[in-house]
Structure 1
């Protein structure tokens, strides 16, 4: 019998992920764990795909922390540090941490699709699309 201390586990098959979540141009986000999908209260988790030789639009994830695990491909995570653009090149097995309100974008310069698993400290996929990496958060 389920109660607040003994809630049942939930299995979400990879084929059951939905794209019914906030999107950013140049990438596809698929939702697995969220408030609406499974009743999560403090976590969002999903998978993102970036096509070869492409990239996403600039965006941030509001007040949520984001953890990224690179499954395949060699995505590049781009963010602004003052007036310079910083590029974090990654490979399968790498992790990336994105602090709250940090404008960034994902690029895939490679010849194969880049796939990453994302976890956020929110039950929903908070996405704020931006015109540039240098857009002040309060104008987003």
Structure 2
């Protein structure tokens, strides 16, 4: 029997990731660690794939904070700063922090698939798809 000091570690193999999570057009999210998969209560982790020459739809992740680690490719993370579009060009080994309710999109201008690992402060994959980066963000 597990208690707070003797919890059971869980192993999720790469082949066991599931696409049965929230999705955004232009990308594929694969869920690894979540309340649904391992019983986590405060963490969601997964992998996102963006095909070459593809952009995701605009979206945000509600009240969660998101950490992104670039595994491969050169994805570009785009967000609006007032009327200005800001583009963060990345390379493998880079990290991106996405604060709560920050509208953004991922772009892959390269000719190889971009792969990133994502962690969120939630037990589920919170995704709110938007019509445009400059659309008002709905908050509860």
Give TM-score scaled by structure 2 length. Answer: 0.97
Conserved 8 A contact 2:79-2:104? yes
Q: Which runs of 5+ in 2 are unaligned?
A: none
Aligned to 2:110: 110
Aligned to 1:7: 7
Tell me the CA shift for residue 55 of structure 1.
1.0
Tell me the CA shift for residue 4 of structure 1.
2.9
1:49-82: CA deviation from partner (whole Å, max 9, x where unpaired): 0000001000000000000000000000000000
Aligned pairs for 1:58-137 (under 5 A) are 58-137=58-137
SS of corresponding position for 2:100 = coil
Query: What is the distance in 2 between the residues matched to 1:104 and 1:113?
Result: 19
Query: What is the distance in 2 between the residues matched to 1:122 and 1:58?
Result: 20
Aligned to 2:46: 46
Q: Which runs of 4+ in 1 moved over 6 A?
A: none
Q: Which runs of 5+ in 1 are unaligned?
A: none
Query: What is the distance in 2 between the residues matched to 1:81 and 1:2?
Result: 47
The total of aligned residue pairs comes to 140
Please say which of residues 3-12 and 20-29 is displaced more in the overlay: 3-12
Query: What is the distance in 2 between the residues matched to 1:138 and 1:109?
Result: 29
SS of corresponding position for 1:137 = coil
Please say which of residues 130-139 and 92-101 is displaced more in the overlay: 130-139
What is the Cα-based RMSD across aligned positions, in Å?
1.2
Give TM-score scaled by structure 1 length. Answer: 0.97
